[in-house]
Amino acid sequence: MKKPNWGTSIVFAFLLFISFILYFIIKVQSNPKYDNELVIDEYYKHDAHYSDEFAKIQNAEDLTEKPTIVNGADGVSVVFPKIFDPGGIKGKVSLYRPSAKLLDFEFPLQLSNSTMLIPKADFAGGNWDATISWSYKGKEYITKQKLYID
Question: How many domains, the chain?
Answer: 2
Together in a domain, 51 and 24: no
- Length reported for the chain: 150
* Domain around 83: 43-149
Residue 108 belongs to domain with CATH number: 2.60.40
Together in a domain, 113 and 63: yes
Together in a domain, 63 and 30: no
Together in a domain, 96 and 141: yes
pTM above 0.85, yes or no: no
Together in a domain, 49 and 22: no
Q: In this structure, is residue 114 part of a structural domain?
A: yes
Q: In this structure, is residue 107 part of a structural domain?
A: yes
Q: In this structure, is residue 1 part of a structural domain?
A: no
- For 124-140, b/e burial (b = at least 16 CB within 10 A) is eeeebebbbbbebeeeb
Per-residue pLDDT of the chain (150 residues; tens, 9 = 90+): 678 788 888 999 999 999 999 998 888 888 777 665 655 666 667 667 778 888 999 999 999 999 988 888 888 889 998 888 888 899 999 988 887 777 888 989 888 888 898 888 877 888 889 999 999 999 999 999 998 888
Q: In this structure, is residue 132 part of a structural domain?
A: yes
Together in a domain, 27 and 52: no
Q: How far is CA 142 from the centre of its chain?
A: 15
